[in-house]
Structure 1
Amino acid sequence: MPVALVADSTAQLSVATAADRGITVVPLNVVVDQEVHEEGVDGASPEFVAQALTEHRAVSTSRPVPAVFEELYARLAAEGADEIVSVHISGEMSGTLESAQVAARTAPVPVHVVDTRQVGPATGYAVLSAADVRDAGGSGEEMARAARARAEGASSLFYVDTLEYLRRGGRIGAAAALLGSALSVKPLLTISDGKVATAERVRTSSKALARLADLAVEAAGDAPVDVVVAHLANPERAQGLADVLTERLVDGLEGREVMLSEISAVLGAHVGPGMVSVCVAPRA
C-alpha cells in the first residue's frame, strides 16, 4: 500500500465502493438533542436525520477531531503506506479539512490534504479520480492533483424547500433566508468557491425541478459526464429528475446510469427534507 487514500463520509461513497477501491472513510457526526451519532449505516442515516428534522428536534453536526485523523494516519503508515492522500468536503463548509491538516503536520509519512471546495458526490468523484491515478501507479502528488481537478470541474446544484435549515447551520446568511420566505420563492443553489451561493430563484417547486434539469444539462455541455441525483425524503421528485437527465444527457453519459441516492446525513441536516440535488462531473 504505497499510497493510502482517505475520504470523509460526506463524499457519499458506499461501503462497497470504499472497500473495493481501497478508500478509508472517516465519519462526521450528527448531533440530535445533544446525542452524538456517527454518520454511517450503523449510525446516523438520511432517514434518521429527516425524521428528526420533521419532529423539530435539535439537529446539528460536528467534525471529527484532529486526534481521529492522527490515529488513522499513524495506522495507515504502520500498515505500509509511504504516502497518504486525504480528500475532503470544502473547508468553507466544515472544519473537517482543518482537522485533517492539523493531523497531517505530525503524521509519520507525507499527507496530501485536498480541499475539494465541494460537497457530496462532487467530493466523492474527486476521491474516485484519485483512486484511479493510484491504481495506475501514480504518486500522492498526482492523486491530489487529479482530485482537485475533478472537483473544480464538477457542478453541484440543489433545490431546497426552505433556506431555514441552511440559515440555522450558518451555511447561508439570514438575510437570504428571509428574502426567500418573504417572496415565496423556491431557491436553486450551487457551490461557488467552496460556499453555498444562489443560482436562481423560481416561483414553484415544479419550475424549480425543471430549471434544475436545464442547469445540469448546461453544466454538462458536450463532454462525457458522470451524474448523481440525490435527495432527502423526496424520492419521487429525485427519480423524476434522474429520468429527465437520463434522456437529455444520453450522449454524455455514454451508457452510464444517472446515479440516484439519498444525500449524506450530515449534509441533509443542513438542507432539510425535500431537498433534491444534482452533481455533474465531467470525466477526464
Structure 2
Amino acid sequence: MPEQMKKFTVLCPFCKETISFEIHEEDLESRYSGGLAGILIPIHGNPPHKLEVYIDRDGLIRGAYPIIEEGKLKSNLQNSYFIDATSEITPQEGKAIGVTVLPFTIVIKGQPEKCYNEEIFFTEIFENLKADKKVQSKPVSIEAFQDAFTSAPKDKPIIVLLVSKRYSEGYSNAMKAREFIAKEQPERAKSIHIFNSKTVGPLLKLMIINAIAMDEEGKSLEAILDYLQWVSEKHVSYVYVDSLDALRKSERVGKVTTFFGNLLGLKPVIIENRNSNGDLKAFTTVRSKEAAMQEIVKAIKKEYEDQELIGVIFYGIIIDDAHRLKELLDTEIGLEQDNLTMDFIGTGVAIHLSYDVLGISIYPKK
C-alpha cells in the first residue's frame, strides 16, 4: 500500500510568503515529541531564512517561527527601537529588521522562571498549556529596561513600543526606568519615547514594522511618533475564542459563564480598545466560527463605513480561517486586500485567551 502524504499550507510570519509542503505520514509521526512535530522549511525569502513549523496530532499547524542567521542589529536607522516579546518577534528576527526585543518571563508552577524566546520557547509552553498547567507571565523588569536604554547609541532617540498596560506592568516599568535615567541624564531621558500600544501580539508587531519602514523612508521622528499614537488610539480588535476554558483559567470570565457557555455551545467574540483604553470587553456570543466572522465583518462595516482601513488578521491554528475572513472583508466591505496582513496570534495571547482564536486588529488610515 503506497505511503500516504499529508499536505500543509503555512504563512511565514517573517516574509509573509505562503508556503505549501508535503510530508509522509510515517515521517510526520516519527517527528512527534509530546504533542507536536517540528518540520523545517528550507531557506527562502530576503533576508534568507528558514521556518520551523509545529504540527499537532490532529494535523493542525500550531506555530511557525523564522530561523534567521545570527547577525548584528540593523544600524542604518535614525532611531533605536525596543519592543517586548509579546510581539512574537524573535531576537534574531528583531536584529534583522532593526528592533531590540526584550523578553518577558514565563512562570509555570513548580518550574524555574524562564525568559521567553531565550530560555523557553513555544513548544514547551504549548505542552504545558495542553497538560492543563497554569502558565503565567511576568513583565520586562525595570532593571532590564534601564540596561537597554543606557546601552543604546547615545546619538539616537529611543522609541519603545509595549504591550497594553491593561495586560502587563511592562509599560509602568519602562516609565520608571526612564525616571531613574532622568535623575542623572535629564536630556537623555527626554529622548526616550515610550508607547502604551493598547494591544498585544500581531498588531504590536505590525506597528513596529511600519514604524521602522517609515524610518527607512526618511520620515521624521515626529511623524513616526504620530503614527504610533494614532494606531494606539484608533485601533479596534475583534477576537473569536473557540473555547472558554482558557478564559476561565485567566479569570476573564466567571466559572458559571464558562459552564453555561460550553453547555449551550456558545463561543465569545471579544472586542479590544473600543473606547481607546485598551480594555477587553464582551462583544457578542455565537455558535460557530463562521457566525463570528459574519458578526465581525458587520461590526467593522458599521463602525468604519467609507474609511480606508489597515490591519492584521490573526489566527491560532487554521490559516484557511484567516483567508476566509479576508475574503469576507473583501466581498462585504471592499477592504483593500493589500492593506491586510496575516499572522499567528502568539504565546502572549494564548496564555490568557487560547491558541484556538481568530480575529482582526484594524484601524483607519490617517
TM-score category of the 2 structures, normalised to the smaller one: 0.7 to 0.9
Do the aligned partners of 1:39 and 1:266 also contact (CA within 8 Å) in 2? no
Secondary structure at the residue paired with 2:83? Answer: strand
Cα pair 2:238 2:360 within 8 Å, conserved: yes
Please tell me whether Structure 1 or Structure 2 has the larger radius of gyration of its CA atoms. 2
Aligned to 1:261: 343
Q: Given the alignment of the two structures, is residue 210 of structure 1 paired with residue 294 of structure 2, yes or no?
A: yes
Gaps of 5+ in 1: none
**Which residue identity lines up with residue 328 of structure 2 in the other structure?**
V
Q: Indicate whether 1:88 and 2:172 are aligned.
A: no
Uncovered stretches (5+) of structure 2, i.e. residues with no partner: 1-76
Q: Which residue of 2 aligns with 1:283?
A: 365
Within 5 A, what are the aligned runs for 1:215-226? 215-226=299-310
Are the aligned partners of 1:133 and 1:146 in contact in 2 as well (CA < 8 Å)? no
* CA shift digits 1:181-219 (9 cap, x unpaired): 465421110113211101112233331233233334445
Instruction: Report what 2:353 is aligned to.
Output: 271
Check conservation: 2:79, 2:158, Cα contact below 8 A: yes
The change in CA–CA distance for 1:144 and 1:257 in structure 2 (over 3 A counts) is closer
Within 5 A, what are the aligned runs for 1:12-91?
A: 12-13=88-89, 18-33=94-109, 34-40=111-117, 43-45=120-122, 48-76=124-152, 79-91=153-165
Q: TM-score, normalised by structure 2?
A: 0.66
Structure 2 Cα separation of the partners of residues 43 and 180 of structure 1: 33
User: Aligned runs of 1:121-200 on 2, under 5 Å?
Assistant: 121-135=202-216, 136-139=218-221, 142-172=223-253, 177=258, 180-181=261-262, 183-192=264-273, 193-200=277-284
Change over 3 Å in CA distance of 1:243–1:195 after alignment to 2: same
Spell out, residue by residue over 1:104-151, the C-alpha distance to the aligned partner (whole angstroms, 9 max, x if none): 112342222111222223323433454355443423x55333211112
CA contact (8 A) 2:329 2:335 kept: no
- Identity in percent: 17
What amino acid is the match of 1:156?
Answer: S
The superposition leaves residues 201-260 of structure 1 with CA deviations (integer Å, 9 ceiling, x where unpaired) of 22333312332333344455333333322122344433432343354455533xx16422
Contact 1:10 1:119 (8 Å CA) reproduced = yes
Aligned-CA RMSD value: 3.0
Structure 1 residues 258 and 130: alpha-carbon distance in aligned structure 2, compared to 1, 3 A threshold: closer
Say how many residue pairs are matched: 278
TM-score, normalised to structure 1, is 0.82
Q: Which one of 94, 97, 109 corresponds to residue 171 of structure 2?
A: 97
- Equivalent residue number for residue 3 of structure 2: none
1:93 counterpart letter in structure 2? Y
Q: Counting strand residues as a fraction of each chain, which structure ranks higher? A: 2
Structure 2 equivalent of residue 228 of structure 1 = 312
Which residue identity is paired with 2:138? S
Q: Decide whether aligned partners of structure 1 residues 70 and 87 sit closer, same or farther in structure 2, where only a CA change above 3 A counts.
A: same
Distance 1:104 1:229, change over 3 A: same
In structure 2, C-alpha distance between the alignment counterparts of 1:92 and 1:208, rounded to whole Å:
25
Q: Which has the higher helix share?
A: 1
Q: SS where residue 171 of structure 2 aligns?
A: helix
CA distance 1:250–1:24, shift in 2 (3 Å): farther
